[in-house]
Amino acid sequence: MSGRGRRITDEEINELVSRLQSLLPESRRRNMGRVSASKLLKETCSYIKSLHREVDDLSDRLSGLMVTVDSNSPQAEIIRSLLRS
């Protein structure tokens, strides 16, 4: 499935690239306006990297909370009931 032989139009590429722009969070899009495809790809890479870091960080925080959450709290009961279903 290498895509060789299928003619991809510039328009298709531009469409896909601008779709990536719409997926960026507001804070990253703010001063953008119309940017080059390569700038957009760079920004997307930076965004994906920050999301990976967030997953990493949130995993550690969840790990810490697992031991400290009061097992009698309403939150714990909600989670328990969700997990039972």
Partner 1 sequence: MDSKGSACSNPNPNPTFGPSKLMLAFRFLRALSIVHRTTPASSPTCRGRRIERAAYASMAYSAGTSRAWSRAVLRRLHHRARRRAVAPRRLSTTAGNRAEALRRLVPGGAGMDYCTLLEETADYTKCLSMQVELMQGIVDSASSNGR
39 touches partner 1 (CB under 8 A): no
Cα–chain center distance at 77: 29
- Rule CB under 8 A: say whether 79 interacts with partner 1: yes
Residue whose token pair is 């009961």:
77
Check residue 49 for interaction with partner 1 (CB under 8 A): yes
**What DSSP assignment string belongs to 5-61?**
TPPPPHHHHHHHHHHHHHHS-HHHHTTTSS--HHHHHHHHHHHHHHHHHHHHHHHHH
User: Does residue 2 touch partner 1 according to CB under 8 A?
Assistant: yes
Q: Which residues here bind partner 1, judged by CB under 8 A? A: 1-4, 6, 8, 12-13, 16-17, 19-20, 23-27, 41-42, 44-45, 47-49, 51-52, 54-56, 58-67, 69-70, 72-76, 78-79, 82-83, 85
